[in-house]
């Protein structure tokens, strides 16, 4: 053991604040980041296991009407022997008798599953009788429902007997077009087949889930297979309304993408913080070396090698770094991981949590931080110990940079010059301080701006819903109808919802009805279906038809594709404020930003169902930064998408209306109201609120520790000068004014100066981080958020300033009286 | 000792440590120093010279006895009042100058000028101390003698009544030491401040008005020098 090593315990006692600070910095980082990464990786592995054990579907499709056995057999054959299972569902309103949920709720009913997408029960069991139901765990939690509670679904009272999760709904995404999952107003469920038949009625969605015979197909191989399946179905006169690969199904990819994105962000954050910590280690050890330069000079003059001194000065940082990492790993694994996994369990419908051991996470949270810390510290110490023995003996190490020796204008006041000298002397500390503050402020600002941003985007999205109600239809449905047409429409509605066996499929019935409308009966000139309900003259006068189709576009900052709705609207539309005359095509500014398109550019849109690509020349950008639509005239729409419209300029598939419309429900694909957009806000507030709290929990103490360590060193380095000043007759408060104010000015300047840098970085974080999410989320920060963030960081500093003032008071006069050679 | 003494010390005691390990550093010291005197304090290492100076400077509290400077009993002052006392009345000159290394020569002097309502003009002082050409340099860029001049300037600029000098020539060569002693003599004459100089250099007694000697914490010599010799003439 080197004789120098004997001073290490004394060094620790003497500088306990410094080493405690270093310990806390590394400990907090490893515990929080490591705990989070452990949780994230466990969730990923858990999902992988669950996907295998639950026979999660490889792809799924939805048909307009129930597919015939022949069509399904053909599809199965075209799909290389895919096993295709009926997985019909129906969305039905759910209420709780005697209990106001505070919002409308929809339950997606499924029959108890046995072969595919098998449910996993957290608690309870699968329904066994027709008056039982099993609901999603998270929905039950968010709505304070328990086993044994009674809910009313489609007018029938059902008792909750199971709390389950479905593997095809890891995230409760009701529609793949939804911007966000919804764990508050939407739930999946299982009921007995008989209960399903009784409850679903006309709302049944003919949904089929499939397992490919080769489950290890590449995404490309699976896409090809699914195209073959689609063609086979179309060949058998089955109209597909949706075809979704599991990798394109947001309900199944949302969690994975989220965990992956979060992990990448936390990894970057961890590397940044550990890097900053490394520089703090260097600065503090460098300060020790400066303080002990005479001793170092003596040791070098006595024959000590520099590498022996490097080893000596590395010892404490290494001990502290390793101890903090070990403690961080233990606390991270035992405490933080559960808290972090809880964040995911607040958002997603996952199977019960189980901690997995992952070697790469273990290495990333133990070996990597220690290696980074030691490497940075080693390089810093080696650099600091480069000086000659004589330079050490003469105290000529470290503090005499060119800037520190700069001449300052003599006409400046003494106090200004003194404060600037404090800054110049400690410039290297303040650079690290700036970086530390910048990273902490970045994280704090991110956490602070997230919820206001979500609310802002939510309100923009609400405003972007151009009418009080946007109805999308499965087929053109005329609402301006005569009494005769109304009667036909009503009959058609009854036929389509009838449970009376007719021997004919609903699709066949519809075809017959259409035929009768065109040739014999009181048909519509357009050949469109008549509505089965009467709407008022006022409603009819303001309702406006539109066309729409959903295609895909390449995202600028992600390999994935954005679902884009192309609208065909009236040229003189009362709802859409876009100029689509003369074949002009406009894009929303959000889409332009997200997909790198805009005025004068060509937007490529891909129809995955028809394997067709459209190239649209963009004339203008419209709307705000969340507008993700493409707009053209209905006529242009009909021509462009003639496969869909048969080039019929009268074709449409939706109504925009400020007044609610009564429509034949069997032909309504969906309804959107402005308030639907606020669900995104509610959901994000529910699921992300705790994440942001967690982030603040890390960043505030970390900021305080970084600022404390670096500013304390400034005081420590100046302790002799402070002692001189006290001897000369300076009061403590006067010393404070010189030193604390210099530091305060630097901290405030750092806080303010780093904001533009942070905003720039956050822009990239949002572009890349949110790049794989549906929709555009431009960075938007309220001015008050800047003030709040700076205020929070400053509050952390204020505590540190008080500690530093206390430290200045503790500088003893005898410090000035020590012989200094 | 007379009632007109600028500095009066009565039965001063100071010890360090506790119990068996307690060491009495100053034992029942009583002495008076007249206003404007140059008083030199001799003694071997460990005799209590520095402690004496620290007590006089209000840097440490006495265990017992009284120290009165310009009519103020230091032993009765609070910490805050002691700061005021140092601010108003004292100037310090140390063996190793104790300049703030990252302040220029001028700024080191301004550190204490800042404390006084009516400091001496810094530019005049720099000229007088022969530091004008070096005012923008840092301490490590000038010689030891120039650093000590700067330290004297720093002590002097706030017009102190009492200048405490701890081995002011201890780190300097013969020639520079003489220059510093001449400067101190000039300062004493020009500004009339009382000086207490702690030193090992016995020759300094010749330029002093009052000679004190400590040995093992006891005052063993307390004499007035009737034949003060100009600093420039003393040899060692």
CB nearest A820 (choices: B57, B96, B103): B96
In chain A, which residues have their Cβ closer than 8 Å to the Cβ of B140? Answer: 394, 396, 400
Q: What is the mean pLDDT of residues B202-231?
A: 93
Q: What are the CA-CA distances from residue A638 to residues A241, A415, A466, A472 (Å)? A: 18, 77, 21, 16
Q: What is the mean pLDDT of residues A282-289?
A: 87
In a domain, B20, yes or no: no
Q: What is the mean pLDDT of residues A68-83?
A: 91
In chain B, which residues have their Cβ closer than 8 Å to the Cβ of A728? Answer: 86-87, 92, 111-112, 115, 154
For chain B, say whether A420 makes contact (Cβ under 8 Å).
Answer: no
In a domain, B89, yes or no: yes
d(C-alpha A14, C-alpha B142), whole Å: 34
Q: What is the mean pLDDT of residues B80-85?
A: 90
Q: Rounded to the nearest 5°, which phi and psi values hold at A150?
A: -105, 130
Q: What is the mean pLDDT of residues A63-72?
A: 88
Q: Rounded to the nearest 5°, which phi and psi values hold at A26?
A: -70, -40
Closest CA to A489 of A472, A477, A498, A501: A477
Report which DSSP code applies to A99: B
Q: What is the pLDDT of residue A503?
A: 44
In chain B, which residues have their Cβ closer than 8 Å to the Cβ of A813? Answer: 59-60
Burial class (CB in 10 A: 0-12, 13-18, 19+), B112: buried
d(C-alpha A130, C-alpha A127), whole Å: 8
Report which DSSP code applies to A335: I
d(C-alpha A23, C-alpha A707), whole Å: 14
d(C-alpha A367, C-alpha A311), whole Å: 19
First to last CA, chain B: 30
Q: B229 CA to chain A: closest CA distance, Å? A: 30
Q: B140 CA to chain A: closest CA distance, Å? A: 9
In chain A, which residues have their Cβ closer than 8 Å to the Cβ of B112? Answer: 728-729
Here the tokens at position B23 are 């060491």
- Sheet containing A240-245: which strands, arranged edge to edge? A83-86, A206-211, A59-63, A240-245
Q: In this complex, how many residue pairs, one in chain A and one in chain B, have their CB atoms less than 8 Å apart?
A: 80
Q: Rounded to the nearest 5°, which phi and psi values hold at A436?
A: -60, -45
d(C-alpha A708, C-alpha A442), whole Å: 19
* Mean pLDDT estimate for chain A: 85
In chain B, which residues have their Cβ closer than 8 Å to the Cβ of A400? Answer: 138, 140
**Residue A403: band (very low, low, confident or very high) from pLDDT cuts 50, 70, 90:** low
CA-CA-CA-CA dihedral for A756, A760, A765, A768, to nearest 10: 170
Q: What is the pLDDT of residue A118?
A: 94
Cβ atoms of B174 and B140 closer than 8 Å? no
Q: Residue A413: how many CB atoms within 10 A of its CB?
A: 10
Classify each residue of A631-668 as buried b or exposed e, where b means 16 or more C-beta atoms within 10 Å of its C-beta: bbbbbbbbebbeebbeebebbbbbbbbeeebebbebbb
For chain B, say whether A809 makes contact (Cβ under 8 Å).
Answer: no
**Percent of chain A topping pLDDT 70:** 91
Does the pLDDT at position A809 exceed 80? yes
Q: What is the pLDDT of residue A497?
A: 46
Q: What is the mean pLDDT of residues A38-48?
A: 92
Instruction: Return the minimum-mean-pLDDT range out of A3-12, A489-498, A744-753.
Output: A489-498
Q: What is the pLDDT of residue A381?
A: 92
Does the pLDDT at position A523 exceed 70? no
Phi-psi region of A598 (alpha: psi -120 to 50; beta: other; left: phi over 0): left
Does the pLDDT at position A504 exceed 50? no
Cβ atoms of A172 and A338 closer than 8 Å? no
A418 to B103: CB separation less than 8 angstroms, yes or no: yes
d(C-alpha B37, C-alpha B4), whole Å: 12
| CA atoms A642, A647, A653, A656: torsion sign | positive
Residue B222 forms beta bridges with which residues? B212
Which structural domain, as residue segments, surrounds residue B150? Answer: 35-61+78-233
Nearest CA in chain A to B83: A729
In a domain, B3, yes or no: no
Q: What is the pLDDT of residue A618?
A: 95
- At residue A789, the 3 state secondary structure works out as helix
Q: What is the mean pLDDT of residues A711-724?
A: 87
Closest CA to A290 of A400, A374, A378: A400
Cβ atoms of B131 and B105 closer than 8 Å? yes
Domain ranges (residues) in chain A: 54-253, 399-463+676-821, 466-479+535-672
How many domains does chain B contain in total? 1
Q: What is the pLDDT of residue A290?
A: 85
Q: What is the mean pLDDT of residues A363-390?
A: 89
ipTM greater than cut 0.95: no
Does the pLDDT at position A498 exceed 50? no
Report how many helices (DSSP H) and strands (DSSP E) chain B contains, helices first: 6, 10
Q: What is the pLDDT of residue A522?
A: 46
Q: What is the pLDDT of residue A210?
A: 93
CB nearest A727 (choices: B92, B101, B107): B92
Single pTM value for the model:
0.72
In a domain, B197, yes or no: yes
Q: What is the pLDDT of residue B29?
A: 95
**Residue A514: band (very low, low, confident or very high) from pLDDT cuts 50, 70, 90:** low
Cβ atoms of B96 and A821 closer than 8 Å? yes
**Residue A179: band (very low, low, confident or very high) from pLDDT cuts 50, 70, 90:** low
For chain B, say whether A410 makes contact (Cβ under 8 Å).
Answer: yes
Q: Residue A84: how many CB atoms within 10 A of its CB?
A: 22
Q: B123 CA to chain A: closest CA distance, Å? A: 11
Q: What is the mean pLDDT of residues A496-512?
A: 46
d(C-alpha A672, C-alpha A465), whole Å: 8
In a domain, B10, yes or no: no
Q: What is the pLDDT of residue A544?
A: 95
Phi-psi region of A595 (alpha: psi -120 to 50; beta: other; left: phi over 0): alpha
Dump pLDDT digits (tens) for A195-240. Answer: 999 998 778 899 999 998 887 777 677 778 888 888 888 888 887 7
d(C-alpha A746, C-alpha B50), whole Å: 39
Q: What is the pLDDT of residue A500?
A: 36
CB nearest A399 (choices: B101, B103, B136): B101
Does the pLDDT at position B37 exceed 60? yes
**Residue A467: band (very low, low, confident or very high) from pLDDT cuts 50, 70, 90:** very high
d(C-alpha A146, C-alpha A242), whole Å: 34
More confident residue, A340 or A406: A340
DSSP line for A701-766: HHHHHHHHHHHHHHHHHTHHHHHHHHHHT--HHHHHHHHHHHHHHHHHHHHHHHHHHHHHHHHHHH
Longest CA–CA span in chain B (Å) reads 55
First to last CA, chain A: 31
- Put simply, the chain A residues between 35 and 54 with a CB less than 8 A from any chain B CB are none
Q: B145 CA to chain A: closest CA distance, Å? A: 14
B90 to A415: CB separation less than 8 angstroms, yes or no: no
Does the pLDDT at position A510 exceed 60? no
Here the tokens at position A381 are 């110490």
Q: What is the mean pLDDT of residues A129-149?
A: 94
* Mean pLDDT estimate for chain B: 90
A727 to B57: CB separation less than 8 angstroms, yes or no: yes
H/E stretch holding A600 reads none
Interface of B with A (CB under 8 A): 50, 54, 57, 59-60, 80, 83-88, 90, 92, 94-96, 98, 100-104, 106-107, 110-115, 136, 138, 140, 154, 158, 166, 171
* CATH code of the domain covering residue B106: 3.40.50.300
| CA atoms A738, A740, A743, A749: torsion sign | negative
CB nearest B92 (choices: A421, A424, A728): A728
Q: What is the pLDDT of residue A513?
A: 52
H/E stretch holding A112 reads none
Nearest CA in chain B to A424: B102
Cβ atoms of A653 and A473 closer than 8 Å? yes
d(C-alpha A5, C-alpha A625), whole Å: 62
d(C-alpha A73, C-alpha A95), whole Å: 39
Q: What is the mean pLDDT of residues A507-516?
A: 52
Q: What is the pLDDT of residue A604?
A: 94
Dump pLDDT digits (tens) for A434-463. Answer: 988 888 888 888 888 888 887 887 888 888
């Amino acid at each position: 053991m080197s004789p120098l090593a004997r001073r290490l315990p004394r060094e620790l006692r003497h500088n306990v604040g410094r080493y405690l600070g270093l310990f806390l910095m590394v400990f907090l980082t490893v515990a929080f980041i490591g705990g989070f990464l452990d949780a994230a990786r466990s969730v990923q592995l858990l999902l992988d296991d669950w996907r295998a054990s639950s026979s999660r579907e490889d792809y799924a499709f939805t048909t307009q009407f129930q597919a015939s056995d022949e069509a399904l057999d053909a599809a199965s054959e075209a799909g290389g022997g895919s096993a295709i299972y009926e997985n019909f569902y129906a969305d039905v309103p759910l209420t709780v008798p005697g209990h106001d949920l505070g919002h409308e709720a929809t339950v997606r009913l499924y029959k108890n599953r046995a072969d595919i997408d098998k449910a996993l029960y957290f608690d309870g069991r699968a329904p066994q009788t027709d008056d039982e139901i099993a609901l999603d765990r998270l929905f039950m939690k968010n709505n304070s429902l328990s086993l044994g509670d009674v809910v009313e679904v489609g007018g029938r009272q059902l008792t909750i007997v199971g709390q389950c999760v479905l593997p095809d709904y890891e995230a409760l995404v009701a529609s793949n077009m939804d911007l966000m999952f919804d764990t508050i107003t939407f739930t999946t469920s299982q009921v007995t087949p008989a209960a399903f038949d009784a409850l679903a009625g006309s709302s049944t969605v003919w949904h089929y889930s499939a397992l490919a015979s080769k489950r290890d197909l590449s995404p490309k191989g699976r896409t090809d297979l699914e195209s073959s399946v689609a063609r086979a179905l179309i060949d058998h006169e089955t109209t597909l309304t949706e075809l979704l690969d599991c990798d394109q199904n947001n309900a199944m990819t949302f969690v994975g993408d989220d965990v992956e994105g979060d992990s990448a962000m936390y990894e970057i954050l961890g590397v940044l913080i550990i890097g900053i910590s490394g520089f703090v280690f260097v600065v503090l050890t460098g300060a020790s070396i400066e303080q002990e330069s005479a001793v170092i000079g003596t040791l070098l003059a006595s024959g000590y090698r520099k590498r022996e001194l490097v080893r000596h000065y590395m010892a404490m940082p290494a001990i502290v770094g390793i101890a903090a990492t070990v403690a961080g790993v233990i606390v991270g694994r035992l405490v933080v991981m559960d808290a972090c996994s809880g964040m995911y369990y607040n958002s997603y419908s996952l199977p019960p949590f189980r901690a997995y051991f992952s070697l790469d996470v273990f290495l990333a949270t133990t070996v990597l931080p220690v290696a980074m810390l030691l490497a940075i510290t080693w390089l810093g110490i080696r650099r600091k110990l480069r000086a000659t023995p004589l330079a050490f003996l003469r105290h000529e190490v470290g503090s005499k940079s060119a800037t520190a020796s700069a001449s300052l204008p003599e006409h400046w006041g003494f106090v200004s010059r003194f404060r600037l000298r404090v800054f110049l002397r400690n410039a290297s500390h303040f650079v690290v301080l700036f970086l530390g503050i910048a990273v902490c402020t970045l994280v704090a600002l991110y956490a602070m701006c997230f919820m206001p941003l979500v609310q802002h985007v939510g309100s923009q999205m609400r405003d972007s819903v151009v009418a009080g109600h946007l109805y999308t239809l499965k087929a053109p449905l005329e609402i301006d109808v005569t009494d005769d047409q109304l009667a036909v429409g009503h009959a058609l509605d009854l036929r389509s919802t009838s449970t009376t066996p007719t021997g004919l499929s609903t699709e066949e019935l519809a075809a017959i009805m259409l035929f009768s409308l065109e040739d014999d009966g009181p048909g519509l000139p357009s050949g469109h279906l008549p509505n089965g309900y009467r709407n008022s003259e006022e409603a009819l006068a303001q309702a406006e038809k539109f066309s729409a189709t959903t295609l895909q576009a390449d995202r600028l900052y992600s390999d994935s594709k954005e679902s884009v709705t192309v609208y065909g609207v009236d040229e003189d539309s009362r709802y859409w404020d876009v100029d689509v005359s003369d074949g002009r095509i406009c894009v929303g500014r959000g889409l332009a930003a997200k997909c790198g398109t805009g005025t004068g550019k060509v937007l490529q849109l891909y129809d995955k169902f028809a394997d067709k690509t459209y190239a649209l020349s963009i004339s203008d950008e419209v709307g705000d930064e969340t507008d993700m639509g493409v707009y053209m005239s209905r006529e242009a729409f009909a021509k462009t998408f003639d496969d869909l419209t048969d080039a019929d300029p009268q074709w449409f598939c939706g109504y925009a209306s400020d007044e609610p419309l009564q429509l034949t429900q069997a032909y309504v694909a969906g309804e959107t109201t402005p308030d639907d957009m606020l669900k995104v806000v509610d959901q994000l507030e529910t699921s992300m609120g705790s994440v942001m709290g967690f982030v603040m929990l890390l960043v505030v103490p970390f900021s305080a520790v970084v600022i404390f360590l670096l500013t304390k060193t400034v005081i420590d380095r100046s302790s002799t000068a402070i002692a001189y000043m006290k001897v000369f007759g300076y009061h403590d408060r006067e010393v404070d004014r010189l030193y604390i104010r210099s530091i305060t000015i630097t901290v405030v300047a750092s806080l303010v100066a780093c904001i533009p840098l942070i905003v720039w970085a956050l822009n990239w974080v949002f572009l890349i981080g949110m790049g794989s999410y549906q929709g555009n989320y431009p960075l938007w920060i309220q001015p008050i958020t800047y003030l709040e963030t700076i205020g929070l960081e400053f509050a952390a500093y204020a505590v540190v300033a008080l500690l530093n003032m206390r430290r200045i008071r503790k500088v003893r006069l005898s410090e000035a009286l020590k012989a200094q050679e | 000792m007379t009632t007109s003494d600028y500095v009066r010390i009565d039965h001063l005691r100071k010890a360090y440590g506790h119990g068996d390990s307690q060491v009495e550093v100053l034992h029942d010291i009583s002495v008076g120093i007249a206003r404007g005197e140059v008083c030199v304090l001799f003694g071997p290492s460990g005799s209590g010279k520095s402690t004496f100076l620290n007590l006089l400077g209000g840097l440490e509290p006495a265990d017992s006895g009284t120290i009165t400077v310009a009519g103020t009993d230091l032993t009765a002052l609070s910490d805050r009042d002691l700061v005021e006392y140092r601010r108003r009345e004292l100037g310090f000159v140390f063996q190793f100058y104790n300049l703030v290394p990252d302040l220029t020569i001028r700024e080191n002097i301004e550190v204490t000028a800042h404390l006084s309502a009516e400091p001496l003009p810094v530019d005049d002082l720099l000229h007088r101390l022969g530091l004008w050409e070096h005012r923008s340099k840092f301490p490590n860029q000038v010689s030891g003698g120039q650093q000590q001049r700067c330290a004297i300037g720093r002590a002097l600029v706030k017009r102190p009544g009492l200048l405490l000098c701890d081995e002011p020539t201890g780190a300097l060569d013969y020639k520079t030491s003489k220059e510093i002693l001449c400067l101190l003599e000039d300062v004493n004459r020009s500004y009339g401040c009382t000086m207490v100089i702690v030193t090992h250099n016995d020759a300094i007694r010749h330029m002093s008005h009052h000679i004190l000697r400590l040995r093992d914490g006891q005052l063993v010599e307390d004499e007035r020098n009737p034949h003060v010799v100009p600093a420039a003439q003393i040899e060692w």
